Amino acid sequence: MSNELPLSKEQIMDTAEQVLRRFGPDKTSVLDVARALQVSHGTLYRHFSSKAALREAVTERWLTRSIAAPLADIANGTDGSYTERLKLWLKTLIGCKRTYASEDPEMFAMYAAVTEAAAEIIEAHIDHLIGQIHTIFEGGIRRKHQEPSSWRSCISIIPHTSANGRMSGLTQILMRYGS
């Protein structure tokens, strides 16, 4: 291989994300990423212990940038009442997932695959989202717009099951918040 420059984890993840989008998560190998970077695959293993670790890191970063960051802006904002912010937060979450499922199917497929294989990443993502909901609710309580127990009323605006019959992630988030 010809590239002798030191690589950062960010450079590797940037390239891995591009390769994943090109070939999809099922057909992308560490060798594909190494070829795109013009390094040996051993170079990648200095930064990531396995293909799974690389996929998890790329997925975690994608979740943070694509879903958690836009939601954080809403959760940390001060415009509108807590109910307006919560509704906007929920609409944004649903909109992000719909958009990425149709416009970024390879990364969304990667997210789905990692969901099954690396529960701790998804747990951390859900914990982060719960923190955002907590921020919205605490703001409402501080402004006297909300009673501490009124989170339960929010569950009524959320679909409780997904198309496959499992409890929706949003319902799980709100139920965990209230427990």
Tens of pLDDT, residues 114-128? 877 777 777 788 788
Q: Where are the beta strands (DSSP E) in the chain?
A: none
- Structural domain boundaries, residue 38: 9-45
Flag whether 166 is in a domain. Answer: yes
Residues 35 and 56 in one domain: no
- The pLDDT assigned to 1 comes to 52
pLDDT of residue 161: 42
Residue 156 CA to residue 67 CA, distance in Å, equals 23
User: Is 69 domain-assigned?
Assistant: yes
- Domain holding 21: CATH number? 1.10.10
**Do 77 and 134 lie in a common domain?**
yes
CA–CA dist 154, 158 (Å, integer) = 7
pLDDT value at residue 134: 79
Which tokens go with 147? 């009673």
pLDDT at 121: 79
Note the pLDDT of residue 166. 47
Answer whether residue 153 is part of any domain. Answer: yes
Distance CA 16, CA 98 (A): 23
Query: Same domain, yes or no, for 18 and 67?
Result: no
CA distances from 106 to 94, 96, 99 (A): 18, 15, 12
114 neighbors 53 (Cβ within 8 angstroms): no
- Confidence (pLDDT) at 165: 45
How many structural domains comprise the chain? 2
Query: Does residue 147 share a domain with residue 92?
Result: yes
Same domain, residue pair 59 and 106:
yes
Whether 101 and 155 map to the same domain: the answer is: yes
Looking at the structure, tell me whether residues 67 and 85 fall in a common domain.
Answer: yes
Together in a domain, 83 and 32:
no
Mark whether 82 and 26 lie in a shared domain.
no
Low-confidence stretches of the chain (pLDDT < 50) are 155-157, 159-167, 177-179
Whether 132 and 97 map to the same domain: the answer is yes
Are 170 and 139 in the same domain? yes
Q: Are residues 35 and 64 in the same domain?
A: no
The pLDDT value recorded for residue 160 is 45
CA distances from 49 to 16, 32, 44, 122, 159 (A): 15, 16, 8, 20, 39
